[in-house]
Structure 1
Amino acid sequence: MSGPHIYGQSTQVIDVESLTTGDFVFDSLNAAFNKEWNDTTKIKLLNEISWHLTPIDVDKSIVFADSAIKLSEKSDWKIGKADALNNKGEALRNKGSFDEALKQHKLALEIFLELSDSKGEAKTESNIGIIYFNLSDFSQSFKHFDNALDIYQILKNQDGILNVYGYIGVVFSNFKQHEKAIEYFEKALQIAEKMNNNSKIATQFNNLGLTFVEMKEYSKAITYYEKALNEFKKINEEFNYSITLGNIGIPYMELKNYSMARKSFEESLAMAVKLGDQYGVAHQYGNIGELYLKMEGDYYLKVNEGHETDYLNEAIRYLKLSINEFNSLGAIEDQKDYLIILSDAYALNGNYKSS
């Protein structure tokens, strides 16, 4: 099983707020930048544009962050520079350039420490924790998340505490310490519910769903994914709604509810196409391919249907579409699971050379 997928951040956490940006927001910020304002205001706008562009176009986000860095250095405005470095780090992280992203965040942290800016320090510690998680250095990841949590608790910053609880839950989940992961996701969920923040409520429902999939408790996973879908629907969060549709197909597939799995994957694929989400398209092609392969191997399905459908060739077709899509994105790591599944499909088809 290739597993449920969350992208943008290479963790289970969906950064919902950074993904709700539309063209209207960017156009408004871009238009505002043309006004005759002082350097500090221009730097703030450059940073705002960079931040909003991160989930849309990482390369443009980096260009705006670099402009903010240069103008901040010219104006000797250190906070503006630190914010820009963090923005650049987040864009680089989304691009998969983790070492360079870490460098930017560490430079930002130095500035926030120098300025005794606790809020900036906590945010940056959290960013560094995410990068170390991406780099599979989990001890460093824990260390920086703990640093961030300590600061947020001193500041009584509930939003920051919520986010870090979620991140720590992800690390525990990666260690297969599922009970601890659930404990932290539920802590985050409680805060999100008190804040009445639909986005973050949905995020934690999704994280709980992912964890129950890993525990092979598929019915519980479906329950939490359905809750996440309801929350995302309330706030018209199409991007993450699409991802969660893909996620919920996994437990349906494992429970052999193939019709619901196919419906979920196909709806997710259609939304990904509509949103221009190439990663989503690639993953749903792969999920559909894996589904057809499982259907091919299901003896009872063959007996009941008389095996009229050529599931195996459909599996190969969709898996090849997925791999080609990942190739076009340069996402070599993401295609590995589907390459293995394609190899299994070729072997089942008697094409041992291709496998």
Structure 2
Amino acid sequence: MIARFHIISILFLCFFTIQAQDYSTKSIDSLKLLLEKSKNKNEQINLNHQLSEIYKQTNIDSAFVYRKNSIKINEQILKNQANNQELLLLKAKNINALAVLYFKKGEYKECLKYLLNANNILQSLTKKNGTDKYYNSLVKLYADLTAVYVNTNEYKQAQYYNMQTYLLDSINNNKFGMSEYYLNLGIIEYKQGNYQKSKDLFLKTLNYKKQYKIEDGLDRVYTNAGNACMSMGDYSSSLDFYFKTLKIDEKNNLPYEIAGDYNSIGNVYYYLNEFDKSIEYYKKHSEICVKIGNTDGLATSYGNIANILAESGKLSESLIYYQNAINILKNTENEKHLSSVYNNIGQSYNELKEYGKAFEYFNLSLSIKEKLNDKQGIAILCGNIADMYIQKKDYILAISYAQKSVKTAKEIGSIYDENYSYGLLTTIFEHLGNYQKSLEYYKLYKETNDSIYNSEKSELITTIEAQFENDKKQKEIELLNKDKKLKEFELGEKQKKIKQQRIFSIFVISGFILISFFMILLYRQYKAKQKANFELNLKNKEIEQKNIEITTQRNEIRKHRDLVLAQKNEIEGSITYAKRIQEAVLPISEMSRSILPEHFILFKPKDIVSGDFYWFAEINNKIVIAVADCTGHGVPGAFMSMLGISFLNEIVRKQEVTKANQILNELRIEIINALQQKGISGEQKDGMDMSLVVIDNSQFIINNYYHAQFAGANNPLYIVKSEKLKVKNEENTKLDELSTFNFQLDEVKGDKMPIAIHLRMNDFTNHEFELQKGDCLYMLSDGYADQFGGKNLKKFLSRNLKQLLINNSQLPMHEQHKVLDKTLSDWIGDGEQIDDITILGIRI
């Protein structure tokens, strides 16, 4: 088989970009001169900002210098004006712009750190003044957070901030921002290998922009649509989209984006085996990357040029380029790019028949692909490893990897990778003498190959490129014509001046003619002044009319604003009323809580109403206690919590079910029936996670211990004791132990399935154990452990929570409540709570 190398595509994310202006060296020099002479710090901030924006497209390192200078001066002024809200807003914008520079360099951790810093500032400002004043800054920040979370494969966070952007844009009827929402959804699907779905979303974005005549951002849509088509093997459509992008980026003079366009076009020609054209565009890409200081892009060029050399049989030379790419990528966070280079090095060693080294690099690449869930990368790697085993004549392993490659390629709709693997299977079964199987796979290989390389597509690709070149030449002709007309105009002006000089000389000789000419000139000026006064009166009337229109529009805007505020107050009032209803069904009162021994309840909803809830009841001398975390938070989560409490009352209080796992089994049936869940694809997966304990008080008088049961849906139970936990059904119970001094914490894990429809629908496990007086039980949702905070803005994590609980378990329960509350408050600091938080602690 012919060696197959993994080319590097550039995914064009929807960071807000500032269109490049035609700054000349003269304008840069003049800005620098103004900066040197300026004594005004506000002016210095603005000049540093302008220089950073200019250099962003041409010299990224210089852009960093001026951006950091702007932030430094900003902070100096804030030392004396700490509460100046305009300066705080300017600081947030400056930090956001610095984060964008880190994104362009591929340093995503630094980028995220600065974006979250900017978010903290904006959130503190919105708490004081509302969101309306900071709409533009918030939209840009949320869009940038979406982009960086996509690049770090944190898709839930990306979807969250994408939705926040969409909500703000919807309130302000920003059609451009609403169109970017669908583009971002497409990128998220693409990154997860769902190419057809991502293509549909990109085309939906394109139609939306065309419907509302939105030209801004079309280049990003075309680029990402091209990426989706290329991943699916539709090269003619992919090339068409890339050339449309290049046309827009050249018009707007965006070198960073133009470099990416050249790389994408080179990739298409690579897959079409037109290596001369491919390397032509790769070299254009690398030249711009060197010029603007884009090291990540330069690594892309090195890797792709190395692929061409390897395909041409120059394997030793290709390894040098691959090593250059690795040296750059090891200093960045672009793991996907690095894994592709490892794959390509493995291919080179495979061609050199150094199979040990080949497998070593294939394995390095495959581990990263699996970590990132890069399905197309996995399909390529499995195909390459299968090819290696064919050469080693280990056909059994070759079949295994080739079939895995086919399966993965079908999942993502990649015809190119599917075709390659069919070719491998054809070869394998031919070597094994199974000609019937070989023929079957050859037919599949031929079908997929014809769909990629048919003559119509080849002609279409040639037509697309010719059309682009023709448009480019037409523009050059237009520029030449404009230049010619300009020269003709200048020549005419010179001739006109000569003619005027001759006339003037004649008038000097003839005084009478001079006086006559002067009188005529005065008369014409008088007429011109009359005309000017008339036009001025017309302009004044137009201005007055415009002022009336502006006043009317302003009044209309105020009216709409007041309507939105009224609606907002009405909604908040409804939610506050819903909170009272929720509190009415929660066991908040002292009488309701009197059935529990010494205890505390830390209950902190993220919004007005909560998706977490706690519940307990006493039936037949048994106390049943539950803590649950419903899908979502706010109003949707509150609805689910009301359902959960209602069904628990029915199951325990009325039906008197007191076996822990049976309660969860019955509750799951009620939730599935209530939500009409069928388990079909695309259905909402609403439900809840829960820990539930049943304590039997009757055993203590007889045996001097309490008999307890526990069942959990995803959520655990923490038990702090002074001795080892005695478990009756140890074979079904998973324990994690943590000990300190005279105490140990046992974590009894719940089953890995929710109270809802799920792939796994086994009965919940019933854990039985003994409790002594003084033992502490802790039931909780995941909100506390998942809260971001601290100086590095990281999650609190369950291991830190466990240590906190065991360290303070000897304190009275109300003191433990204070410690947990204060620790959480200090951890969050100026940040925001991201989820509902519930911890229920009981001392036996």
Same fold (TM over 0.5): yes
Say if 2:13 is the partner of 1:13.
no
Q: Spell out the pairing of 1:1-355 with structure 2 (5 A cutoff).
A: 1=1, 3-6=4-7, 12-15=8-11, 21=108, 25=112, 29=116, 32=119, 35=123, 37=126, 38=131, 40=135, 41-55=137-151, 56=153, 61=158, 64-66=161-163, 68-94=165-191, 95-96=194-195, 97-107=197-207, 109-110=209-210, 113-114=213-214, 117=216, 120-134=217-231, 138=235, 141-273=238-370, 280-281=377-378, 283-296=380-393, 311-320=394-403, 322=405, 326=408, 330-331=411-412, 333=414, 334-350=417-433
Structure 2 letter corresponding to 1:226 = Q
Deviation at 1:106, TM superposition (A): 0.5
CA contact 2:10–2:263 (8 Å) conserved in 1:
no
Query: For 1:92-146, what per-residue CA distance to the aligned partner results, in whole angstroms no more than 9, with x for missing partners?
Result: 44421254133233146438854x64xx343334334444545666555444433
In the alignment, residue 25 of structure 1 is paired with which amino acid?
Answer: L
**Alignment-mate amino acid for residue 44 of structure 1:** K
3-state secondary structure, aligned to 1:234:
coil
Contact 2:339 2:369 in 1 (8 A): yes
Distance 1:150 1:319, change over 3 A: closer
Report the AA paired with residue 4 of structure 2: G
Q: More deviation in 256-265 or 16-25?
A: 16-25
CA positional deviation for 1:343: 4.9
TM-score, normalisation: structure 2: 0.35
Decide whether the 8 Å contact of 1:113 with 1:121 is kept in 2: no
Could you tell me how far apart the structure 2 residues matched to 1:59 and 1:153 are?
A: 35
Aligned partners of 2:314 and 2:323: how far apart in 1? Answer: 15
Superposition deviation, residue 341 in structure 1 = 2.2
> Cα–Cα, structure 1 residues 208 and 30, in superposed 2: closer, same or farther, change >3 Å?
same
Name the CA distance, whole Å, in 2 between partners of 1:112 and 1:127.
Answer: 20
Asked whether the equivalents of residues 109 and 124 of structure 1 are also in contact (C-alpha less than 8 Å), the reply is: no
Q: TM-score, normalised by structure 1?
A: 0.75
User: Runs of 5+ in structure 2 lacking a partner?
Assistant: 13-102, 439-844
SS in 1 for 2:353: coil
Look up the equivalent residue of 1:86 and give its one-letter code.
Answer: L
Q: CA deviation at 1:199?
A: 0.4
State the secondary structure of the residue aligned to 1:76.
coil
1:299 maps to which residue? none
How many percent of aligned residue pairs carry the same amino acid?
Answer: 24
Q: 1:88 to 1:27 in 2, by over 3 A?
A: farther
**Structure number, greater radius of gyration:** 2
- Size of the aligned set, in residue pairs, is 331
Q: Do the aligned residues in 2 keep the contact of 1:72 with 1:80 (CA within 8 Å)? A: yes
Q: Which moved more, 1:200-209 or 1:31-40?
A: 31-40
1:305-340 C-alpha deviation (Å, 9 max, x unpaired)? xxxxxx33333344455556x28x933634553354
Look up the equivalent residue of 1:345 and give its one-letter code. Answer: I
The one-letter code matched in structure 2 to 1:5 is: H
- Between the aligned partners of 2:283 and 2:111, the Cα distance in structure 1 is 35
Query: CA–CA distance in 2 between the matches of 1:35 and 1:260?
Result: 52
Asked if 1 retains the 8 angstrom alpha-carbon contact of 2:115 and 2:141, the reply is no
Query: What is the CA distance between 1:191 and its match in structure 2?
Result: 0.9
Structure with the largest fraction of strand: 2
Aligned residues of 1:285 and 1:319 also touching (Cα < 8 A): yes
**Shift in alpha-carbon separation, 1:112–1:127, aligned structure 2, 3 A:** farther
For residues 277-323 of structure 1, the C-alpha deviation after alignment (integer angstroms, 9 at most, x for no partner) is 56545543442232121122xxxxxxxxxxxxxx3333334445555
Higher mean alpha-carbon deviation, 13-22 vs 178-187, is at 13-22
Displacement of 1:43: 3.5
Q: 1:58 to 1:110 in 2, by over 3 A?
A: farther
Whether the 8 Å CA contact 2:259–2:288 is kept in 1: the answer is yes
- Provide, for residues 40-76 of structure 1, a one-character-per-residue CA deviation record: whole Å limited to 9, x for no partner: 3443344334323435255764565355334412221
CA distance change for structure 1 residues 144 and 315 in 2, over 3 Å: closer, same or farther?
closer
Change (3 A) 1:167 1:284: closer
Question: How far apart, CA to CA, are the structure 1 residues paired with 2:425 and 2:235?
Answer: 31
C-alpha contact 1:129 1:141 (8 A) present in aligned 2: yes
Q: Deviations over 1:162-195 (max 9, x none)?
A: 1111122223334433212211110110110122
Is the CA contact 1:265–1:288 (under 8 Å) kept in the aligned structure 2?
A: yes
Paired residues of 1:101 and 1:131 also in contact (CA < 8 A) = no
Cα-to-partner distance string for 1:186-222 (whole Å, 9 max, x where unaligned): 0110110122221000111122223334444434433
More deviation, 141-150/221-230: 141-150
**2:386/2:401 contact within 8 Å kept:** yes
Q: Which has the higher contact order (CA 8 A, sep 6+)?
A: 1
Q: Could you tell me whether the CA contact under 8 Å between 2:159 and 2:185 is conserved in 1? A: yes
Inter-partner Cα distance in structure 1 for 2:301 and 2:357: 23
Q: Which moved more, 1:102-111 or 1:233-242?
A: 102-111
Mark the CA change 1:216 to 1:102 in structure 2 (over 3 Å): closer, same or farther. farther
Higher helix fraction (1 or 2): 1
CA root-mean-square deviation: 3.9
In structure 1, C-alpha distance between the alignment counterparts of 2:171 and 2:211, rounded to whole Å: 16
Closer, same or farther: CA 31–245 of 1 in aligned 2, 3 Å: same
Unaligned runs of 5+ in 1: 7-11, 297-310
1:205-264, CA deviations, whole angstroms, 9 ceiling, x for partnerless residues?
Answer: 122223334444434433332222222123353332122101221122123232332222
Q: In 2, distance between residues paired with 1:103 and 1:277? A: 23
